[in-house]
Amino acid sequence: MNQQPVPVGSLPAGGVGRPLQGDAASDIGVELGARQTVAWLREQLHRFEAARRPACNERMSTGWEPLDRLLPAGGVTRGSLVEWLSAAPGCGAGTLALGMARQACREGRPLVVVERRGEPRQGGWYPPAFCGQGILLEQTILVRAGDRGEELWALEQVLRTEGVGAVLCWAEGFGQRALRRLQLATEVGGGLCLLLRPASVRTEPCWGRLRLLVEPLSMSDGSASAAEMWVNVRRLRVRVMHVHGGAGGQQVDLEIDETGSVRVVSPLAGRAASHKRRRA
């Protein structure tokens, strides 16, 4: 693969929260091919002190208190594959997933974003959205794979690498066997695997520990389109479709404002909006 590096982000590899030193400094702020990036990432992460590597069963917040309250353990455990299913473009699944990534990457752990080169997808790598959710670009690694096979390979290799906080991917076309491999790799590395997938896969078996469906409230009550909801505030419903150690079925209604802040929808506000639509 003959790929030229371009500015993207960097990884604090000389220790948690400290800049790269020596020869590694020349690699700051580059986007590399999948195999180059994985090799470089492993080399840097070997410098982390073992004591700073999280235990695979360590519980952490989802980054959103309303979601924590839905889950049996009050959050998620490291070493988990989490599926975010999106019922409509721009419904908020990506925003919520970034909040979870931010939580997983505290204490200087890197976030690795894996995407397929040359295939634009809804969401995808968009630095302002990452910054808006408190993601530090200097702790973010972008891996652009050439095809689906390389994308899956990169995901599996990075997930197996200890010290990674979270791996984020807009996953399309992955079969059950591939998803099982990703869950096993996630358990080995101890980070979080966050997969954004279309809602059409909701009836397929879930190999991860958590599957969440995000849909606009308008789609839940059939009264308006997703585009009509995206003015200043997006209102959405998050359903727990599958959770390890629980029955699932819980849900919460949230709203995301233009700053990216998330809060629970007031029942009174929801009823008022519904009444207004009926009168119209």
Each residue's pLDDT tens digit, 92-126: 999 999 999 999 998 889 999 998 876 655 567 78
Distance CA 117, CA 112 (A): 15
Percentage, residues of the chain above pLDDT 70: 67
Distance CA 165, CA 191 (A): 5
Q: Are strands 166-170 and 192-198 parallel, antiparallel or unpaired?
A: parallel
Of residues 136 and 57, the one with the higher pLDDT is 136
Of residues 254 and 132, the one with the higher pLDDT is 254
Residue reference for tokens 């009168």:
279
Looking at the domain 22-279, which fold is it? Rossmann fold (3.40.50)
Q: Is 214 exposed, middle or buried (0-12, 13-18, 19+ CB in 10 A)?
A: buried
Nearest residue to 235 (alpha-carbon basis) of 128, 95, 135: 95
| Neighbour-count burial for 129-165, b at 16+ CB within 10 Å, e otherwise | ebeebebbeebbbbbbbbeeebbbbbbbbbbbbbbbb
Distance CA 214, CA 193 (A): 17
Which residues face 211 on adjacent strands?
A: 83, 242
Distance CA 208, CA 242 (A): 9
Residue 183 has pLDDT above 70, yes or no: yes
Q: Are strands 140-145 and 32-33 parallel, antiparallel or unpaired?
A: parallel
| Average pLDDT of every residue of the chain | 76
Q: Are strands 262-264 and 140-145 parallel, antiparallel or unpaired?
A: unpaired
Domain definitions of the chain by residue range: 22-279
Distance CA 129, CA 62 (A): 18
CB distance 179 to 124 below 8 Å:
no
Per-residue confidence (pLDDT) for residue 21, from 0 to 100: 30
Q: Is 244 exposed, middle or buried (0-12, 13-18, 19+ CB in 10 A)?
A: middle
Per-residue confidence (pLDDT) for residue 190, from 0 to 100: 93
Q: How many other β-carbons are positioned within 10 Å of the β-carbon of residue 220?
A: 15
Per-residue confidence (pLDDT) for residue 33, from 0 to 100: 60
Distance CA 159, CA 36 (A): 15
Give the three-class secondary structure for 181: helix
3-state secondary structure 99-127: HHHHHHCHHHCCEEEEEECCCCCCCCCCH
Distance CA 159, CA 183 (A): 9
- The angle that helices 148-159 and 176-189 make with each other, rounded to 10 degrees, is 30
Percentage, residues of the chain above pLDDT 90: 43
